[in-house]
A and B are shown apart, each in its own frame.
Chain A
């Protein structure tokens, strides 16, 4: 499915770097989400935005900062990350009655 686009696909960053992940949806859904998938762990919900308003912050450290400027775009700003933050970060868009559609993910490595 190509309704949700994530960039970049891969990212390597140092612990002192600042980078951003981008997600764009073309489905017209009301809600967008960030999920984290670490090796051998279940998918973890990080943030939920409904109609551009953050409605869920699942106890995520402040070194992860989401931004939702409009209903089609979602960013995840990263700064001073730790090696244990290395994971696959997945964006999804969803609407009532339509289910969730996921992007291809950004595989992040923190060195």
Chain B
């Protein structure tokens, strides 16, 4: 099956700092999503981004499908950005989402 690797596994920032999270995947994928899991466990969809670049406020994402990676940028981080960020990809003809292990982000005031 497809392997999804995220880096770094843990990241600690001061409020206001910028960060880049990376997702590498081992095979061609149909689609890719970035999620934020909040402290209550809910997975919030941030981006549906099979290719190209998207921006939503302080967050943006870029996927280069031909090189099998995606990047999530967080600018001017806030304490509410804390949580786990997951990258997940679809592969093959089944609707089957494979998750990376996530990046645990802690933003300190």
Contacts and interface: CB of A to CB of B under 8 A. Distances in A.
A67 B87 CA distance: 28
B41 A99 contact: no
Interface in A29-53: 30-31, 33, 37, 42-43, 45, 48, 50
Which 9 pairs of residues, A with B, have the shortest CB-CB distance?
A99-B48, A102-B43, A43-B99, A31-B95, A105-B41, A104-B42, A88-B41, A99-B33, A42-B101
A94 to B, nearest CB: 6
A84 interface: no
A71 B35 CA distance: 24
B40 A48 contact: no
A107 interface: yes
Interface string B1-44: 00000000000000000000000000000010101000011111
A31 B97 CA distance: 12
Nearest to B100: A42
Interface residues of B, number: 21
Given A43-B86, A99-B33, A90 B43 contact: yes
Contacts, number: 53
B96 A48 contact: yes
Given A43-B86, A102-B35, A56 B96 contact: yes
Secondary structure type dominating chain B contacts: strand
A14 to B, nearest CB: 23
Interface of B: 31, 33, 35, 40-45, 48, 86, 88, 94-102
Contacts of B94: 48, 55-56
Nearest to B101: A42
Nearest to B43: A102
11 contacts: A42-B100, A43-B99, A99-B33, A100-B45, A102-B35, A102-B43, A102-B45, A104-B41, A104-B42, A105-B42, A105-B43
B42 A98 contact: no
B41 A37 contact: yes
Nearest to B95: A31
B99 A48 contact: no
Residue in B33, B94, B97 with the greatest tally of chain A CB atoms within 10 Å: B97
